[in-house]
Amino acid sequence: MTTTAVRNFPMLIGGEWVESADLLEIRDPQNDELVATAASGGAAHIDRAVEAARAAFREGSWSQAAPAERARLLRAVAAKVGDRLDELVELEIMANGATIRQATGFHIGYVAPHLEYFADLAERYAFERPAPRATFPTLAQSTVRKEPIGVVGAIAPWNFPLLLALWKIAPALAAGNSVVVKPDEKTPLSTLEFARIAEECGLPPGVLNVVPGPGPEAGARLASHPDVGKIAFTGSTEVGREIMRLAAGTVKKVTLELGGKSPSIVLDDADLEIAVDGVLYGCFLYSGQVCESGTRLLLPESLHDEFVERLVERAKTIVLGDTRDWETDLGPVISARQHSRILEYIASGVEQGATLAHGGGVPAGERFERGHWIEPTIFTGVRNDMRIAREEIFGPVLSVITYRADEEAVAIANDTSYGLASSLWSGDNDRALAIANEIEAGSVWINDAHQINCQVPFGGYKQSGLGRELGPDALDEYTETKNVHLDLSGRRDRRPYDVLLSHVD
CATH number at residue 74: 3.40.605.10
35, 63 Cβ separation under 8 angstroms: no
Query: Are residue 126 and residue 163 in the same domain, yes or no?
Result: yes
pLDDT at residue 4, rounded to an integer: 60
Tell me the pairing of strands 253-257 and 465-466.
antiparallel
First to last CA, the chain: 99
For residues 494 and 505, what is the distance between their CA atoms, to the nearest angstrom?
Answer: 15
Does residue 53 fall inside a structural domain?
Answer: yes
Does residue 451 fall inside a structural domain?
Answer: no
277, 314 Cβ separation under 8 angstroms: yes
Does residue 370 fall inside a structural domain?
Answer: yes
Tell me what the mean pLDDT of segment 53-78 comes to: 98
**490 — pLDDT class (breaks 50, 70, 90):** confident
189-200 helix and 85-96 helix, angle to the nearest 10 degrees: 160
Q: What is the pLDDT of residues 420-457, one digit of tens each?
A: 999 999 999 999 999 999 999 999 999 999 999 999 99
CB count within 10 Å of CB 36 equals: 19
Show the 3-state SS of 230-273.
EEEEECCHHHHHHHHHHHHCCCCEEEEECCCCCEEEECCCCCHH
Amino acid (one-letter) located at 30: Q
Output the average pLDDT for the chain: 96
CATH number, domain of 437, equals: 3.40.309.10
Query: Are residue 177 and residue 192 in the same domain, yes or no?
Result: yes
What are 300's strand-pairing partners?
403
**C-alpha angle with apex 199: 193 to 203, nearest 5 degrees?**
135
Tell me what the mean pLDDT of segment 482-491 comes to: 92
For residues 303 and 297, what is the distance between their CA atoms, to the nearest angstrom?
Answer: 12
Does residue 454 fall inside a structural domain?
Answer: no
Number of residues written out for the chain: 505
Per the structure, the count of domains in the chain is 2
Q: What is the pLDDT of residues 339-355, one digit of tens each?
A: 999 999 999 999 999 99
Query: Are residue 56 and residue 169 in the same domain, yes or no?
Result: yes
Query: Are residue 299 and residue 246 in the same domain, yes or no?
Result: no
Which residues fall within 8 angstroms of residue 242, CB to CB, at 6 or more apart?
A: 220, 223
Does residue 499 fall inside a structural domain?
Answer: no
pLDDT at residue 492, rounded to an integer: 80
Q: Does the structure show a pLDDT above 80 at 1?
A: no
**DSSP-assigned letters across all residues of 27-51:** EETTTTEEEEEEEPP-HHHHHHHHH
**C-alpha angle with apex 190: 86 to 178, nearest 5 degrees?**
130
Does residue 175 fall inside a structural domain?
Answer: yes
Query: Are residue 280 and residue 424 in the same domain, yes or no?
Result: yes
Tell me what the mean pLDDT of segment 212-223 comes to: 97
Query: Are residue 372 and residue 343 in the same domain, yes or no?
Result: yes
Q: Does the structure show a pLDDT above 60 at 55?
A: yes
Does residue 505 fall inside a structural domain?
Answer: no
Q: What is the pLDDT of residues 139-171, one digit of tens each?
A: 999 999 999 999 999 999 999 999 999 999 999
54, 151 Cβ separation under 8 angstroms: yes
Residues with active-site annotation: 257
In what order do the strands lie in the sheet containing 33-39? 7-9, 33-39, 23-28
**406 — pLDDT class (breaks 50, 70, 90):** very high
Query: Are residue 238 and residue 202 in the same domain, yes or no?
Result: yes
Tell me what the mean pLDDT of segment 379-407 comes to: 98
Q: Which residues of 298-325 are buried (b: 16+ CB within 10 A; e: fewer)?
A: bbbeebbeebbebbbeebeebebbebbe
**DSSP-assigned letters across all residues of 389-431:** HHS---SSEEEEEEESSHHHHHHHHH-SS--SEEEEE-S-HHH
Cα 151 to the center of its chain, rounded Å: 20
236 vs 225, 257, 318, 442, CA distance in Å?
21, 8, 28, 17
CB count within 10 Å of CB 270 equals: 24
Q: Does the structure show a pLDDT above 80 at 504?
A: no
Query: Are residue 323 and residue 377 in the same domain, yes or no?
Result: yes
Query: Are residue 329 and residue 193 in the same domain, yes or no?
Result: no
| Backbone φ and ψ of 263, nearest 5° | -90, 145
Query: Are residue 221 and residue 281 in the same domain, yes or no?
Result: no
Q: What is the pLDDT of residues 254-291, one digit of tens each?
A: 999 999 999 999 999 999 999 999 999 999 999 999 99
Torsion, Cα 488 491 492 493, to 10 degrees, reads -110
pLDDT at residue 3, rounded to an integer: 47
Question: Smallest Cα–Cα separation from 226: which of 154, 151, 146?
Answer: 151
Does residue 120 fall inside a structural domain?
Answer: yes
Query: Are residue 352 and residue 393 in the same domain, yes or no?
Result: yes
**505 — pLDDT class (breaks 50, 70, 90):** low
**476 — pLDDT class (breaks 50, 70, 90):** very high
Question: Smallest Cα–Cα separation from 45: which of 66, 16, 71, 25?
Answer: 16
- 8 by Cβ neighbours in 10 Å (0-12 / 13-18 / 19+) ranks as middle
For residues 142 and 481, what is the distance between their CA atoms, to the nearest angstrom?
Answer: 12
| Backbone φ and ψ of 146, nearest 5° | -110, 115
**503 — pLDDT class (breaks 50, 70, 90):** low
**474 — pLDDT class (breaks 50, 70, 90):** very high
pLDDT at residue 374, rounded to an integer: 98
For residues 193 and 164, what is the distance between their CA atoms, to the nearest angstrom?
Answer: 15
- 145 by Cβ neighbours in 10 Å (0-12 / 13-18 / 19+) ranks as middle
1 vs 34, 35, 204, 436, CA distance in Å?
17, 18, 45, 62
Query: Are residue 187 and residue 271 in the same domain, yes or no?
Result: no
Domain coverage including residue 366: 263-446
